[in-house]
Amino acid sequence: MSQIQQQVSKSIRSYQAKTGKLLTIGTVESATGGRIGDKITNVPGSSDYYKGSVISYSNDVKIGIVGVKEETIRKHGAVSSETAIAMAQGGKKLLKVDVCIADTGITGPGGATSEKSVGLFYIALSAEDVTLSQEYHFQGSRESNKQKATDASLDLLKEYLEKCLGNEAENNLEEKHAITCFLEHGNKILILRRSHKVGTYQRCWAGVSGYIETNDLTQAFTEISEETELYESDLKLIKQGKPLDVVDRVLKRKWIIHPFLFHVKSPEKIKTNWEHTEVRWIKPEDLGKYRTVPGLKEALNRVIK
Helices (H), the chain: 4-19, 35-40, 59-61, 70-76, 81-95, 142-166, 216-228, 296-304
Per-domain boundaries in the chain: 4-166, 174-304
Is the domain covering 174-304 a CATH 3.90.79.10 domain?
Answer: yes
Q: What is the per-residue pLDDT for 165? A: 79
Tell me the pLDDT tens digit for each residue of 278-287. Answer: 999 999 999 9
Residues 6+ apart with CB under 8 A from 86: 62, 66, 67, 68, 69, 72
Q: Per-residue pLDDT for 75 more than 60?
A: yes
The pLDDT value given to residue 1: 37
Alpha helices (runs of H) in 126-181, residue ranges in sequence order: 142-166
What contacts 190, CB < 8 A, 6 or more positions away? 182, 183, 184, 207, 208, 264, 267, 270, 279, 280, 281
Arithmetic mean of pLDDT over the chain: 93
pTM metric for this prediction: 0.58
The model's confidence at residue 172, banded by pLDDT at 50, 70 and 90, is low
Q: Are 157 and 50 within 8 A, CB to CB?
A: no
Q: If you average pLDDT over residues 247-252, what whole number do you get? A: 78
pLDDT exceeds cutoff 80 at 253: yes
Any idea which of 5-9, 107-111, 247-251, 265-269 has the lowest mean pLDDT? 247-251
244-254: average pLDDT: 83
Please state the rounded mean pLDDT for residues 101-112: 95
Q: What angle do CA 143, 146, 149 make, to 5 degrees?
A: 150
pLDDT (tens digit per residue) in 112-152: 888 899 999 999 999 998 999 999 999 999 999 999 999 99
Are 4-166 and 174-304 in the same CATH fold? no
The second-level CATH assignment, the architecture, of 4-166 is Alpha-Beta Complex (3.90)
The three-class DSSP label of residue 1 is coil
Q: How far is CA 47 from CA 37, 42, 67, 124, 289, in A?
A: 11, 10, 25, 22, 11
